[in-house]
Amino acid sequence: MAELGSVDVAEPMSPAEATKSGAGSADRHDLLQHSREFLDFFWDIAKPEQETRLEATEKLLEYLRARPKGSEMDYALQRLITGLGVGRETARPCYSLALAQLLQSFEDLTLCEVLQQIQEKYDLQKVKKAMVRPALFAHLFGVLALFQSGRLVKDQETLLKCVKLLQDLSHHHNHLQEQPQKALVDILSEVPESMLKDILPKVLKADMAVVLSSPENLELFLLARRKVPAKLEKLLGPVDLFSNENIPRLVNVLRVAAASVKKERKLPTLALDLLRLALEENKFPRFWSEVLEQGLLQKPFPPASFLCFRLLGAALPLLSKKQLQLVMRGVIIQQYGEHLVTAKLPDRFKFAPEMDAYVGTFLEGCQDDPERQLAMLVAFSSITNQGHPVVPTFWRVVRFLSPRALKDYVAWLQDMFLQPNLDSLVDFSTSNQKKNQDASVHVPERAVFRLRKWIILRLVSIVENAQVEKEEALVEEVARFCLFHSFFETKKPTPQIPETEQQLSFALDSRTREVVCNAFFSLLQALSTQFKQTTDGQPWTYRLVQFTDMLLNQNRNVATITAFTEQQRQAWDQMLQTLKGLEARSKEVKAKAFQHLLLLVGIHLFKSPTESCDLLGDIQTCIKKSLEEKPRRTRSKATESQEPPWVEVLVEILLSLLAKPSHLMRQVARSVFGHICSHLTPHALQLILDVLNPNKSQDEDDNVVVTDDSDETQLKTKTAKDKSQENSDSEEEEESDEEESDEESRDRDVDQGFREQLMAVLQQGKALGGVDSEDEEELGDEAMMALDQNLASLFAEQKLRIQAKKDEKSKLQKEKVLRRNFQIRVLDLVEVLVTKQPENLLVLELLEPLLNIIRRSMRTSSSKQEQDLLHKTARIFTHQLCRSRHYCHDVGNHAEALHAQVERLVEQAGHQADSSVALYFFNASLYLLRVLKGNTVSAPPLKTPKKQKAGTKAPEAQTTSCLDLKRVTLVYSSALSSFLTKRNNPLTIPMFLALFCRHPVLCKNLIPVLVQHVAGKVQPRQQSQACMLLQKALSMGELKPCYEGSEWEQLISQILEKVTENLQTLGKAQTKPEQQKELSSLELLITLLKMAHLQKLTVDLTAILGLLQGLQPGLQQSLQQGGHTAGSSRLYDLYWQAMKFLGVQRPKSEKKDAKEIPSDPQGPVSLKRKKKGFLPETKKRKKRKPEVAAAEEGATKEGAAEEGAKPAAASENQPPSSGKKRRRRKRAKASAQSPANGKPAASSPDPCSPLTNPGASASPSPSPPAKTPKLRKKQKLAEVNGVPPPESAGKKQQKELSGKSLQSDPPQKKARLALANGNASLLQSGAKKKKTHLKKGGKP
């Protein structure tokens, strides 16, 4: 740091300038600034953020390039060398990298000198014991810096020194471990061959025992073998690294290398180099089998296993097809499969993502070789755990397959499904499975079932995967394969049906067909949503139906698993005829929806024949009637027929389809209902509402039977069983926990009846004992055996009874879950109706059922299904119903019922226990008000254009609304009165504000209720709420047009009287509700005064002015004494806001006193502030004496006219704060001349003036009201242009008006005239005169 003091960083100066003292100090200042910038680079280099380090290194290099020969270079080199041995381990690599960049940029710095400085700085012979470890790391990072500079391999002398230093550092294994040897290998790998020949004898000993002693020495050996094989052979002679003698040593070295990269989880380069060497010497089978499988994996060691897995993945692109077959059928691949099975448990490391990355890289790299791709996928698909492949059915690497490889892979999967070759599989069992499973489980049938189940799911996942490029023929092939083996079997092979030519080695049992059937319907859903149509424009479902019809017609060659009855076959044929009719009308959207429904139910004819047969007949009848029905068919004609309307039948069908947990059924039902909801009848809607009604849905479960996906649950249970066999140890613990829980539940469930039965058995067996103890001795062996048998039977019955209760409880819980899921699916129909038919009258019937669901779910929303039902219902009700732009415009004769419903909803909203539920009921009533307001009493008949011209009163008939304003007003007025009187009311202020905003006419009728509760015998909390509601209501712009003539002014006056009455006790609040009442009253008063001022209303303000002026001393005194509460400051601010609208300005003396308090030299506050920091005496602004200030004020008065004549010029030459100072002096003088603080003397001696009364005489205005910025700007512009200022004209008008008002009007009307003429107040006339005299230089 001493060197930096002499560094001349600034530009050179002349000798004359250097002799000056000022120049010397400036030079030191500049040097200090540059030094700070320079030193900051080294701090930033050691920071953990990489971007900051790199940026600091670049700036340091740029700084040094500008001064290459200065002392900064020496300091930077020393500082970076010092940083190599700092205590912070994270900072050492940062300094090493910066040093490397420095040496790379400045080649004039010799590496030998830098290395010598590092060794002198950190001499291991002289360093203290506590600094040995940092010194060792400093040497290591110093060598690395020299190597990273790129210049070390060119300097042989320094290179030899670095090699010697690294060899010395390798002896300190406790601190550095293998880092010096790894650094040596990295350095020698970059050395030229000629230089390596000279260095090799110095770093590698001619002993294979030493070579095979550590991974680093072996890496040096492999490096020399790769770069200088002749020199290595001359040094060691011919070496067979994979000989029988060297293999055990290789295994130990690989084990150490695997342990060294345990935390990094990467493949050691040594293992990959050995693999490449084995491939070069054609000794790969020996290396793979003896070194890895029989050596490294002989003992269980997880790092060694993961090394083998990573080596397997990295070796895939290097191996031939024959070598791949060897690798994929060995011990390593079996252990990998076992790892995939056991790693499914939580808190286990999962290697599958890494292997997927290896396989994906391999498949992506051999796109031109489909055979290698197929061999790889077949190999991984053949790794099975008791028949079940370990790779997932949805494997992302399939997307890298070429079309040919994908086609061949699908063909292999189909062949393995039909003729499972268990011998070709690499099958294994885990250790737990071997211990716990019986021999009877290991049968070929079980393995075949598990394999077929995986294969069919893999086929479906290939089609469903959108990232896999598939041809349409491949998709159709998979779909036909699944369909055929789900519902058909082959009688006689025929070339017309390729599926019949495939032979089965193991017959398909019922379980397999169920799995294939479920997979087929999953595939059908994917085909209907993703692909939708084939290239010829037909739906995929229709093409599969055609294929199914062809199979049904081939009776000699194909047979169905369950034969069709005549009725079912007739339903199938009729369905095909209906499909042909719909195909002719395929351009209609409705026809497409019906076609989709018919096709889906038709295919379900094979899964559930009886139910689907009935549905097909009903659907065809409904389709026929809906397509033949006239578009304007009235409801009367529909109700005349005895049979139910087709819409109701179709709604029942859709509900039955929604009862099945099929996503495809749900989509089809939603689509079909969207096309028939315009024909919906009240009874059809009631069918939907009965499902949503919680009471009816629980009592009337016979209408719709909710079914569970039994096939999927069976599959899940089977897979769970398979997993349990793999992890039986954990399951045994779980079973023991379940047994303990069963015992605890048994103890809890013991009832009195069981106790009595137990006592009876014990008494019968004489086991209880009585008064005589001899009875116990007389109990023999036979009696004991009989007693044990009776007790066992009794406890067995009790156990069965408890289990029956548990089963019943779980069954009820399961039924409840299914019912809730069914209701969630049925809500889809409600959402479709509300979205597509918002103007339908039936939508109004949805309000109360939806509200009942919300109210019930809010009480019992514990389960996930209840929460989902609540969220979906609330979303439909709020966003799609109440906030919809469209609504019913044809209420007709239902106006009376809607009014009654409004009354009912508002009443129910007031009776709710939760405000969130009450909000939904209140919003429903607002929606009905909107509907009633938008409808007319009687719609006029349709007229021709001539009649429309002749009729002039038709538009008047349309404007008459159905809304009964008086009736609705009574409803909401009672609700509002209840809200303002009852304490625990669920209604809130935002609810009524929404009512006021949407219906201003109704707000006008409710205003008297609010005014009534502003003051009087009402609780303070309700008064505060009434004031807030009134304030928000009056602020709405839609309310004033509802009043005619002087009604608005009368309303404002009436509210003002109530507020005046409410403010009698201002500042005397003791409780929080009273404080809130005062604040709300003042806010309402401010709103009233603001409206009166802006709208120029004639309002008497003398009463409120006198009241507020009388309260001012008390408020100011309480604020100054500090005895106010937290809301008093807010109250005081609102008070002066109100006084401002009344023409009285807030006094400034308080702020002036507050500024003068810390300037007191005797106060403790000033002493504290003086200690914190102070300016020099030369910098302090001297305080002006009072005489000087008075003289300046006189000069200001004399030059006031000149300043007023040239305000623009003065503003340019003076600082911005001069005007403020001048105004402050004027105000201070005016306040000093006043008789009391805040009480100016009255300027008008007229006894009729408001200032003569006591309230006015106590006005706290110390100065005339300040002009607005607009008024000042206008006055300046007028004076510059030579025009008299507008203020003079305003004063003339004010004087004339004041004279006239004083002569003709009584004193009470002067404030009204002042507000009507737009002036602030007549109370300011005296103050304005005083200001005019001051400007002219006279005295007031």
DSSP string for 29-50: HHHHHHHHHHHHHHHHHTSS-H
Q: Does 628 score more than 90 pLDDT?
A: no
Residue from 919, 843, 925 nearest 876 by CA: 843
Q: Does 608 score more than 60 pLDDT?
A: yes
Looking at beta carbons, which pairs linking 1016-1020 to residues 24 or more positions away fall under 8 Å? 1018/980, 1018/981, 1019/983, 1019/1073, 1020/1071, 1020/1073, 1020/1074, 1020/1076, 1020/1077
Cβ–Cβ < 8 Å for 506, 448: yes
Residue from 159, 203, 161 nearest 181 by CA: 203
Q: What are phi and psi of 561, to 5 degrees?
A: -65, -45
Cβ–Cβ < 8 Å for 955, 996: no
Residue from 173, 172, 180 nearest 147 by CA: 180
Looking at residue 694, its pLDDT comes to 65
Q: Does 1147 score more than 70 pLDDT?
A: yes
- For residue 962, name the pLDDT band (cuts at 50, 70, 90): confident
Q: Give dist(CA 357, CA 352) in Å, integer.
A: 9
Residue from 749, 661, 763 nearest 712 by CA: 661
Q: Phi-psi category of 216—alpha, beta or left, where left has phi over 0 and alpha has psi -120 to 50? A: alpha
**Lowest-confidence range among 637-641, 767-771, 990-994, 1028-1032?**
637-641
**DSSP H or E run through 392:** none
Q: Give dist(CA 66, CA 68) in Å, integer.
A: 6
Q: Does 1197 score more than 50 pLDDT?
A: no
pLDDT greater at residue 41 or residue 1122: 41
pLDDT greater at residue 1082 or residue 1114: 1082
Q: Give dist(CA 478, CA 462) in Å, integer.
A: 9
- Is 293 strand, coil or helix? helix
Q: What are phi and psi of 534, to 5 degrees?
A: -85, 180
Compute the C-alpha angle 1269/1275/1279, nearest 5°.
145
Looking at residue 664, its pLDDT comes to 83
Strand 383-385 versus strand 388-389 pairing type: antiparallel
Looking at residue 870, its pLDDT comes to 92
The tens digit of pLDDT for each residue in 1275-1284 reads: 444 443 443 4
Measured over the CA atoms of residue 529, residue 535, residue 538 and residue 544, the dihedral's sign is: negative
Q: Does 1289 score more than 50 pLDDT?
A: no
Measured over the CA atoms of residue 538, residue 544, residue 549 and residue 553, the dihedral's sign is: positive
Q: Does 1309 score more than 50 pLDDT?
A: no
What average pLDDT does the segment 850-870 reach?
A: 87
What average pLDDT does the segment 107-119 reach?
A: 86
Q: Give dist(CA 636, CA 818) in Å, integer.
A: 38
Looking at residue 873, its pLDDT comes to 93
- CA gyration radius for the chain? 48
Cβ neighbours of 69 (radius 10 Å)? 7
Helix, strand, coil content of the chain in percent (nearest 5): 70, 0, 30
For residue 541, how far is the Cα from the chain centroid? 38
Cβ–Cβ < 8 Å for 1088, 1055: yes
pLDDT greater at residue 180 or residue 1311: 180
Cβ–Cβ < 8 Å for 265, 306: yes
How confident is the prediction for the chain on average, in pLDDT?
76
Cβ–Cβ < 8 Å for 927, 847: yes
The tens digit of pLDDT for each residue in 906-945 reads: 999 999 989 999 999 999 999 999 999 888 775 444 444 4
Residue from 656, 625, 617 nearest 641 by CA: 625
**DSSP H or E run through 565:** none
Cβ–Cβ < 8 Å for 455, 467: no
- For residue 852, name the pLDDT band (cuts at 50, 70, 90): very high
Q: Give dist(CA 1052, CA 564) in Å, integer.
A: 85
The tens digit of pLDDT for each residue in 727-736 reads: 444 444 444 4
Looking at residue 1062, its pLDDT comes to 86
Residue 972 token pair: 């909401």
Percent of the chain predicted with pLDDT > 70: 73
Cβ–Cβ < 8 Å for 635, 647: no
- For residue 1246, name the pLDDT band (cuts at 50, 70, 90): very low
Looking at residue 469, its pLDDT comes to 87
The tens digit of pLDDT for each residue in 235-290 reads: 888 888 888 888 999 999 999 999 988 888 889 888 999 999 999 989 999 999 99
Looking at residue 1249, its pLDDT comes to 33
pLDDT greater at residue 1325 or residue 424: 424
Strand 383-385 versus strand 426-428 pairing type: parallel
Q: Give dist(CA 273, CA 344) in Å, integer.
A: 33
Cβ–Cβ < 8 Å for 1096, 1313: no
Q: Give dist(CA 980, CA 987) in Å, integer.
A: 10
Q: Where are the alpha helices (DSSP H) in 494-565?
A: 510-526, 540-553
Q: Give dist(CA 520, CA 1151) in Å, integer.
A: 84
Q: Does 984 score more than 50 pLDDT?
A: yes
Q: Which residues contact 1219 (CB under 8 A, 6 or more apart)?
A: 1211
Q: Does 1135 score more than 60 pLDDT?
A: yes
Cβ neighbours of 334 (radius 10 Å)? 18
The tens digit of pLDDT for each residue in 582-591 reads: 877 777 777 8
For residue 264, how far is the Cα from the chain centroid? 33
**Lowest-confidence range among 43-57, 466-480, 550-564, 674-688?**
43-57
Q: Does 875 score more than 90 pLDDT?
A: yes
**DSSP H or E run through 388:** strand 388-389
Looking at residue 1122, its pLDDT comes to 58
**Lowest-confidence range among 71-80, 980-989, 1192-1201?**
1192-1201
Looking at residue 451, its pLDDT comes to 94
Looking at residue 1168, its pLDDT comes to 42
Cβ neighbours of 36 (radius 10 Å)? 9
Q: Does 643 score more than 80 pLDDT?
A: no
Looking at residue 708, its pLDDT comes to 54
Beta bridge partners of 497: 494
Q: What are phi and psi of 560, to 5 degrees?
A: -80, 155
Q: Give dist(CA 806, CA 812) in Å, integer.
A: 10
**Lowest-confidence range among 177-181, 251-255, 703-707?**
703-707
- Selection from 426-440, 908-922, 956-970 with the highest mean pLDDT: 908-922
Residue 814 token pair: 């399961």
For residue 808, how far is the Cα from the chain centroid? 40
Residue 1171 token pair: 């200690």
Residue from 209, 198, 254 nearest 236 by CA: 209
Looking at residue 1193, its pLDDT comes to 45
Looking at residue 490, what DSSP letter applies? E
Residue from 1107, 1018, 1096, 1004 nearest 1056 by CA: 1107
**For the chain, what's the residue count?**
1340
Q: Give dist(CA 835, CA 697) in Å, integer.
A: 25
Looking at residue 346, its pLDDT comes to 77
**Lowest-confidence range among 390-394, 706-710, 1053-1057?**
706-710
Looking at residue 154, its pLDDT comes to 83
Q: Give dist(CA 483, CA 460) in Å, integer.
A: 12
Q: Give dist(CA 1069, CA 1132) in Å, integer.
A: 13
Looking at residue 1290, its pLDDT comes to 40
How many helices (H) and strands (E) in the chain?
66, 5
- For residue 750, name the pLDDT band (cuts at 50, 70, 90): low
- For residue 353, name the pLDDT band (cuts at 50, 70, 90): very high
How would you class 596 by CB atoms within 10 Å of its CB: exposed for 0-12, middle for 13-18, buried for 19 or more? buried
